[in-house]
Amino acid sequence: MTTTLLQRALDTRARTWSQMQEIQARAEGEGRDLSAEERASWDAAEADLTAASQDIERLERHARMDTVQREQIVVAGGDQAAETAEDRQATHDAAYRDAFAAFTRRGMSGLDNEQRQLLMSNQSEIRAGATSPGTAGGYFIPTDTLARITETMKAYGGLLGAANVITTTSGNPLNWPSNDDTANVGAILAENAQITEQDVTLGQKTLGAFTYTSKLVRLSLQLIQDDAFGVEAWLARKLGERIGRAVAAHLATGVGTTQPEGLFTNATAGKTGLAGQVTSVIYDDLVDLQHSIDPAYRASAQWAMSDSALKVVRKLKDSQGRPLWEPSVQAGVPSSLMGSAVLIDNGIPVPAASAKSIGYGDINAAYVVRQVAGGQMMRLEERYADFLQVGFFGFMRLDAKPDDGSAFRVYAHPAS
């Protein structure tokens, strides 16, 4: 059903875009501006195009999360004697998911001994203001549920899906080496001559682990006990959305001290707009921005901007009068701009005076994100007992920094 709806939305977007092109071509062919009626038709079509694009994004996100859930299905049966290590791990994971679901609904008192042991073996101690073990702990979210949270985070922040994401088991400071050897070249060696030396200079960055929390969610006991409602999946989605929104903003423009350093925060401007372009960009600016990146990076480069910036860019045409933006008509294939994919992330600044609103480059090479394995959830059972409610919150540890600064450049609007 999702595939059918997705294809229908793609067809609608392609058809609407074709209609907009016909309106524009008719006016240009007659050497005139759009009439009032044509302008009204164009505005209505543009609204339909935006709605179709939003539908496509939502359906593709649903398809990704559905795939994550289906990949976790464990088929019972078969020759027990031929059970492999993978089979045993799958069985263990399934049992842990069941224990975690029971914990979500009933708390520790509602678990049998085996389920309690499973959870206790995957517990991380938490104590505010201290690093030594305490009595209160958070239980690791099962892999498939965590994957659903990660998918939700990607949907709310496209940069996370494009960056180089590394996962570590602990949150200790991680030293990340860097190197720029592009200024050094080889040489011709004369006969009987001694070879010259040229050392490689390595830099170093440190990735920490900021703790992101979903804040507290209180659920009634009636809702938790209602087996007809998939509270585990719903709760994971809500926690993921909250964490994802916070992460998205910081990956774009985080200050780098009390939060990750954003990709756009200190990025080099590949092009600065002319005076007066405080909320606009022209075709020549985008060409200059593309060529501010070395060709070595352009094969994997993509555009990154907010939806507000995309609205501005979609109205631009090249020197032949052809629109720069090409909407995708195939599921899973992003829309393109001047031959490169367009990544939308609303954490990126919108067009404004002195803002860096458009980026271009190889984001995977330019930006590294460090996640500490195991997003966790805590259940507060007694705190709200007099309300017949249970409190939940999720948290995840993450840091990020620009990596290869040569791989990414931004378009900066002038101050006035």
169 assigned to some structural domain: yes
389 and 299 belong to one structural domain: yes
- From 71, 97, 122, give the residue that closes a domain: 71
Q: Which of 352, 340, 350, 332 is closest to 408 using CA atoms?
A: 340
pLDDT at 80: 46
pLDDT at 390: 86
Structural domain total, the chain: 2
pLDDT at 128: 43
pLDDT at 309: 95
- From 71, 103, 124, give the residue that closes a domain: 71
348 assigned to some structural domain: yes
Q: Which residue matches tokens 């042991």? A: 117
DSSP bridge pairs for 179 = 202
233 and 379 belong to one structural domain: yes
219: which 2 tokens? 């659920």
78 assigned to some structural domain: no
287 and 392 belong to one structural domain: yes
79 assigned to some structural domain: no
User: What's the pTM?
Assistant: 0.69
pLDDT at 360: 98
396 and 252 belong to one structural domain: yes
* Mutual angle of helices 143-156 and 36-70, in 10-degree steps: 160
pLDDT at 126: 45
16 assigned to some structural domain: yes
Domain range enclosing 331: 141-180+200-416
272 and 402 belong to one structural domain: yes
21 and 161 belong to one structural domain: no
23 and 157 belong to one structural domain: no
10 Å CB burial of residue 406 (0-12, 13-18, 19+) is: middle
381 and 259 belong to one structural domain: yes
DSSP bridge pairs for 123 = 139
pLDDT at 122: 66
- From 48, 71, 94, give the residue that closes a domain: 71
192 assigned to some structural domain: no
286 and 149 belong to one structural domain: yes
Query: What average pLDDT values come out for the chain (416 residues) when binned by 10 residues?
Result: 73 84 82 84 83 77 56 42 69 79 73 78 50 47 70 78 89 82 83 86 85 91 71 79 89 94 96 95 95 94 94 86 80 82 92 97 95 80 86 90 94 96
pLDDT at 228: 56
350: which 2 tokens? 């919108």
CATH of the domain at 267: 3.90.1690
